[in-house]
Amino acid sequence: MTLKVYPKLLLLFLFNSVWTRTVRQVYDDLDPEHWSHYTFECPKECFCPPSFPNALYCDNKGLKEIPAIPARIWYLYLQNNFIETISEKPFVNASHLRWINLNKNKITNNGIESGVLSKLKRLLYLFLEDNELEEVPAPLPGGLEQLRLARNKISRIPEGVFSNLENLTMLDLHHNSLLDSALQSDTFQGLNNLMQLNIAKNSLKKMPVSIPANTLQLFLDNNSIEVIPENYFSTIPKVTFLRLNYNKLSDDGIPPNGFNVSSILDLQLSHNQLTKIPPINAHLEHLHLDHNRIKSVNGTQICPVSIAVAEDYGFYGNIPRLRYLRLDGNEIKPPIPLDIMICFQLLQAVVI
């Protein structure tokens, strides 16, 4: 059966559109009439495309250190090398940098010269995935919009490291070594505009505390979370996409209305230990419950409104908005109960 995941595709389209627009705006700001003010030397280890004079490609070059960055460079690609250190010397003239990709290198915290990152005042995007960091590097540039630190060895988040990052919209910490003790009540203080927080594939047993209030996407897959605290989502009233796949959630660990939250449109609870479908909100559009321990489905019980009301509303009424329901990998046998179809009249796909 074809899986329909329109909200994710829309999100990807919007993200790519925003990214493309940002790059174009930054590129257009560098008027060709002003290029004559820049020297066009190119480090011998790198590639400088004539059609994109403010980009420097040093990826996949076997580099062990960062070359001197020319003043004109805004986009710096250093991924897939053997770089161990980030020192101030290569960046002496690089005052216009907006984007640095250092993914897949050998960088440790001890290899980052004190204060070198915070001196890059115009930096918006910093990618340090697949390195050997043991804690979030600090201090960081105050204007950062995206910080990607996935697949490191991070077990510690220094106090106040995010306090001045009010422009940050994406923080990716997935696939690290974070314990519950690493996430204190003030850990995310200052992230007033954060939209996406990814802490999947860590070692959490509890839901993280004090998530920024503007968070739209919260990814907590592949942890060991057992309990959703009462009224947990009241402090993040805008959360739209919630992923809790591959955890240890059971029926007892979810409050009666734990997921009955009007802001949540996409709820993923696959590969947990649920034996029944938790109460959901009428606004929910995508629900993933595959690979749990559910034996049966009662549409009358899980319908966010009464079946009679749902039937009376008709197609144009204010009926529940669920469009996609995944229940495979449980102990449910077809056919789909009729009351499910009566309640969720907008359903486009059911996987069972």
- Reported as a pLDDT band with limits 50, 70 and 90, residue 299 is confident
Residue 246: per-residue pLDDT: 98
Q: Which two tokens stand for residue 22?
A: 């940002």
Q: Is the pLDDT of residue 3 over 70?
A: no
Of 215-229, 285-299, 333-347, least confident by mean pLDDT is: 333-347
Q: Is the pLDDT of residue 5 over 50?
A: no
User: What pLDDT digit, counting tens, does each position of 58-94 carry?
Assistant: 999 999 999 999 999 999 999 999 999 999 999 999 9
Non-local (6+) Cβ contacts of 8 within 8 A are 266
Nearest to 221 by CA among 263, 272, 256: 272
Residue 7: per-residue pLDDT: 46
Which carries the bigger pLDDT value, residue 11 or residue 161? 161
Residue 31: per-residue pLDDT: 47
Distance of CA 160 to the CA centre of its chain: 21
**Which long-range contacts does 54-63 make (Cβ < 8 Å, 24+ apart)?**
54/27, 54/30, 54/96, 59/101
Kindly report the average pLDDT of the chain as a whole number: 89
- Reported as a pLDDT band with limits 50, 70 and 90, residue 336 is confident
- Reported as a pLDDT band with limits 50, 70 and 90, residue 17 is very low
Q: Is the pLDDT of residue 264 over 80?
A: yes
Q: Is the pLDDT of residue 32 over 60?
A: no
| 210 vs 106: CA distance, rounded Å | 32
Cβ 214 vs Cβ 192: under 8 Å: yes
Nearest to 332 by CA among 290, 304, 303, 270: 290
Q: What is the DSSP letter of 156?
A: B
- Reported as a pLDDT band with limits 50, 70 and 90, residue 8 is very low
Give the mean model confidence (pLDDT) for residues 168-192: 97
Q: Is the pLDDT of residue 242 over 60?
A: yes
Give the mean model confidence (pLDDT) for residues 104-122: 97
Nearest to 298 by CA among 267, 342, 345, 255: 342
**What is the value of pTM for the model shown?**
0.87
Mean pLDDT highest for which of 25-29, 243-247, 344-348? 243-247
Domain 55-225: assigned CATH number: 3.80.10.10
Q: Is the pLDDT of residue 119 over 90?
A: yes
Cβ 215 vs Cβ 195: under 8 Å: yes
User: What pLDDT digit, counting tens, does each position of 301-335 carry?
Assistant: 899 987 766 666 554 457 899 999 999 999 998 88
Which carries the bigger pLDDT value, residue 35 or residue 102? 102
Nearest to 342 by CA among 327, 322, 230: 322
274 φψ region: left (φ > 0), alpha (ψ -120 to 50), beta (else): beta
